[in-house]
Structure 1
Amino acid sequence: MFELMQALRDGANALKSHYLNSISINAGCELFIEFVRLFPHETKSFDDLKVEIGKQGRQYAKEAMSYRSKIADLALGFIKDGSVILTHSYSRVVMQALLKAHKLKRISVYVTEARPRGLGVKTYEALTAAGIPCTIVLDSAVAYVMDKVDIVLVGSEAVVESGGLINAVGSNQMAIIAKAANVPFYAMAESYKFHSLFPLSQYDLPTHTPNTLAFPKHSVRPADLSVVRPSTLSVHTNPPPSPIRTSTSLAAIHSPVQFSMGPDQTKLNPEVDYTRPDLISLVFSDVGILTPDGVSQYLVGMFAG
């Protein structure tokens, strides 16, 4: 049994090595290893035990494919007709909830751009293709748009033992602003993303390294910044042409060329952040609608056997 557990841990490490951000992978692997550890050893031989564990594991994986649909059904009751929803980046479970709500109710969606990966564009394109009114919001404009929003709905990389949320960077500031504006902040998470971590701050996350937000050893010159042509969506954000054409400098100001961080600067920034449990209204999961305290109790019970 000890050798089997070690083989599972080695396999989990090999799987996690293929991902820059392996928090959700780590949560699922830990859950399965704990399942194997607590599995009743009532079979006649160890070979039979391994066969039964594999059978149960495959059955769980099959059932897990339906979790997003269950979560979407739970969220429907909290999405009213005519709701304006703010979401962040791209989440498969949030997408399923929004598409299901669109079939039954009238909804409109604001989605953040979610730099540096820009996955908000993917959400925008999918929702627009489904006929849902959707607008992309700059990450820095979340406070600006919050007064127009009825609820905030985000996915998760992991829900931790404190009841807090680990998700795409920017989720924490969104939750802080929603709390200040008295807007409900809902998280959606499959139960295999429940993680036995207990971070107290951003710097306790497993993704945090000494290089995160570190000052460069040499000064950064303007030439180090990358010049990026606007995306296909830049037509929505470019300023209108200026009626004044007396100066080439003014023309340069209204140029569509955009400046953004290069890959070296992007690497210094975090991909995920931690949102405290007191900022989260509810967590929608396949095991039910939970408060952050409820998540904490569920995790303690799950890993205590």
Structure 2
Amino acid sequence: MRADQSPFFMSPNASTNSEAMVTQSLQRSSDVDAVVREFHEALARSSDMAVAVAAIQALTTVIKNSTSTTMMGLERELKDAAASLQNCNPTAISLKAGCELFLRYTTRTSAIEADTFAAAKKRLIERGQHFAETSKRARATIAELGERFIRKGSTVLVHGHSRVAIAILRKAAAAGKQFSVIVTEGRPDETGLTMARVLDEMRVPTTVILDCAAGYVMERVDLALVGAEAVVENGGVINKLGTYTIALAAKEHNVPVYVAAESYKFARLFPLNQRDLPLERKQLDFGPLLPTSAAIDNPSRDYTPPQYITLLFTDLGVLTPAAVSDELIQLYV
């Protein structure tokens, strides 16, 4: 057997190709580390930074720093980077939806109609920056729209610590409207207490209640305002555990339920029941009196069907739940 027929023989070309593959693999690993680092740094720079917006900014940086010389290569880099970001928190629906929307928005055909790759890449960067800026402005746009629904003397029930809901309440307070807020405690992460501190700084009269007291206070509530982790295809929402319970009580008392959510939280999901949600549970300590044989089940989120939602305040406008599917089609076309 000749040397070049031996299974252990490697031609010079094969060696070069192997080295190139190793180099590319190491480069991809380095790129993944860089995008994750950029993502975490963006979140660390601002406590108001939304997870999806931080991901969008990190993905835009991937385009800027890419060494790819083809659209196929650049698109592969973006997909790898998006996958690595989603792996940071696999159950974060808004993170996944933000990444998917970014990829769809930046790489759709009209974005890459250019004579040269350099021109196409420049256009992709511009699209990415525009998408990031639009996403950052979303909260202010929603505040402008939602503030109109808070009337003088209103009692507002809020659940969870929603930055966009806070923006609406802040806008209403700045407009000189006198209103009060009832805040659910938000166990086990005490998000309601965080919300109460923000409202106290805004000098808005605030009452904190137990989560299970939402039905009890509903008869003196004028409107319920919640955020959303995701808005799904049928116009329903996935949000902090307890949102569904509040919506049920509000329906019984004819209290409108308003959801404030940025369009990057629109997700291609169609849950039919609570068991269809991505599994995520929070730690909860019931204390030493809990029997050791008792199981604990504490999901972090629930699904509120569209029939219990009055309107959604979004950066795309004030929408009925029925209009969400049309907007999703436009976003992903």
Q: Secondary structure in 2 aligned to 1:66?
A: helix
Matched, 1:297 2:321: no
Contact 2:229 2:238 in 1 (8 A): yes
Q: CA separation in 2, counterparts of 1:21 and 1:125?
A: 28
Gaps of 5+ in 1: 214-223, 228-258
Which amino acid in the other structure matches residue 123 of structure 1?
Answer: M
Q: CA separation in 1, counterparts of 2:264 and 2:291?
A: 34
Which amino acid in the other structure matches residue 126 of structure 1?
Answer: V
Distance change in 2, residues 1:112/1:265 (3 Å): farther
Contact 1:226 1:261 in 2 (8 A): no
Q: CA separation in 2, counterparts of 1:30 and 1:67?
A: 18
**CA deviations over 1:236-268 (Å, ceiling 9, x no partner):** xxxxxxxxxxxxxxxxxxxxxxx7999x977x4
**Partner residue in 2 for 1:24:** 94
Distance change in 2, residues 1:87/1:225 (3 Å): closer
Contact 1:120 1:136 in 2 (8 A): yes
Q: CA deviation at 1:35?
A: 1.1
Matched, 1:54 2:115: no
**Partner residue in 2 for 1:78:** 149
Q: CA separation in 1, counterparts of 2:169 and 2:237?
A: 20
Contact 1:75 1:97 in 2 (8 A): yes
Matched, 1:38 2:99: no
Q: CA separation in 2, counterparts of 1:130 and 1:174?
A: 24
**Partner residue in 1 for 2:308:** 279
Task: State the TM-score, normalizing by the size of structure 1.
Answer: 0.79
Higher deviation after alignment, 26-35 or 3-12 = 3-12
Matched, 1:226 2:297: no
Q: Secondary structure in 2 aligned to 1:53?
A: helix
1:173 to 238, 245, 253: 245
Which amino acid in the other structure matches residue 166 of structure 2?
Answer: M
Q: CA separation in 2, counterparts of 1:91 and 1:34?
A: 26
Q: CA separation in 1, counterparts of 2:210 and 2:254?
A: 21
Which amino acid in the other structure matches residue 92 of structure 2?
Answer: S
Contact 2:106 2:127 in 1 (8 A): no
Q: Report the RMSD for the aligned CA atoms in angstroms.
A: 2.3
Distance change in 2, residues 1:62/1:265 (3 Å): farther
Off by >6 Å, runs of 4+ in structure 1: 259-262
Task: State the TM-score, normalizing by the size of structure 2.
Answer: 0.72
Q: CA separation in 2, counterparts of 1:130 and 1:182?
A: 29
Q: Secondary structure in 2 aligned to 1:197?
A: coil
**Partner residue in 2 for 1:217:** none
Matched, 1:111 2:205: no
Q: Secondary structure in 2 aligned to 1:274?
A: strand
**Partner residue in 1 for 2:19:** none
Q: Secondary structure in 2 aligned to 1:82?
A: coil
Task: Specify which structure has the bigger relative contact order, considering alpha-carbon pairs within 8 angstroms and separated by 6 or more residues.
Answer: 1
Matched, 1:95 2:166: yes
Contact 1:161 1:299 in 2 (8 A): yes
**Partner residue in 1 for 2:215:** 143
Q: CA separation in 2, counterparts of 1:298 and 1:283?
A: 12
2:140 to 69, 85, 88: 69
Q: CA separation in 2, counterparts of 1:107 and 1:128?
A: 13
Q: CA separation in 2, counterparts of 1:107 and 1:274?
A: 28
**Partner residue in 1 for 2:256:** 184
Contact 1:21 1:271 in 2 (8 A): no
Distance change in 2, residues 1:151/1:225 (3 Å): closer
Q: CA separation in 1, counterparts of 2:290 and 2:73?
A: 49
Gaps of 5+ in 2: 1-70
Q: Secondary structure in 2 aligned to 1:17?
A: helix
Distance change in 2, residues 1:63/1:44 (3 Å): same
Matched, 1:200 2:272: yes
Count of residue correspondences: 258
Q: CA deviation at 1:69?
A: 1.2
Distance change in 2, residues 1:183/1:117 (3 Å): same
Query: Which has more helix, going by share of residues?
Result: 2
Which amino acid in the other structure matches residue 76 of structure 2?
Answer: Q
Distance change in 2, residues 1:73/1:225 (3 Å): closer
Q: CA deviation at 1:17?
A: 2.1
